[in-house]
Amino acid sequence: MELSGLIREQLEQCFRGPAWHGPSLTEVLAGVGDSAASARPLTAHSIAEIAAHAAAWKRVVAGWARGGEWQEVPPELDWPSPAAWPESRSGLERAHEDLVGLVGDLDAAALSRRVGETSLAQAIFGVAHHDLYHAGQIALLRKAVPGT
């Protein structure tokens, strides 16, 4: 399998499943309603805020995949205010689809391009790992919110 195919496969498994470790980001978000998405049971970020953050980083890395240069991500882009839950959820889906679509067009030279202190390929794999990290947080938040 070529590298771009492997990266796309990893992005999809971490976002949609099946992931070998447990639920993917999409799987832990399934069935989350408006009130659960905005709840803060652990004085942590809400599910909606985490989804907006995950979408933001998919957009940042997609910008790099389009040839953009690395630059510091300001806090308002790193943790944007979420939209209403259905829009936040669909925004995450669109950001994911955009990134996955871009990966298929990247050759080895593009994937090797440096973005900051890493390669574009490592940044894209990082987005997949980022999904899993936040999927774990969301799974814990769901256990702390009654009815989810």
Locate the domains of the chain by residue range.
Answer: 3-144
pTM recorded for the entire structure: 0.91
- pLDDT at residue 1, as a whole number: 64
Structure tokens at 73: 């991500």
Number of H helices, E strands in the chain: 8, 2
- Tokens 């832990």 map to which residue? 28
CATH code of 3-144, in short, is 1.20.120.450
| Per-residue confidence in pLDDT tens, the chain, 148 aa | 688 889 999 999 999 998 878 899 999 999 999 999 999 998 889 999 999 999 999 999 999 999 999 888 899 989 999 889 999 999 999 999 999 999 999 999 999 999 999 999 999 999 999 999 999 999 999 999 887 7
User: What is the dihedral sign for C-alpha 44, 48, 50, 56?
Assistant: negative
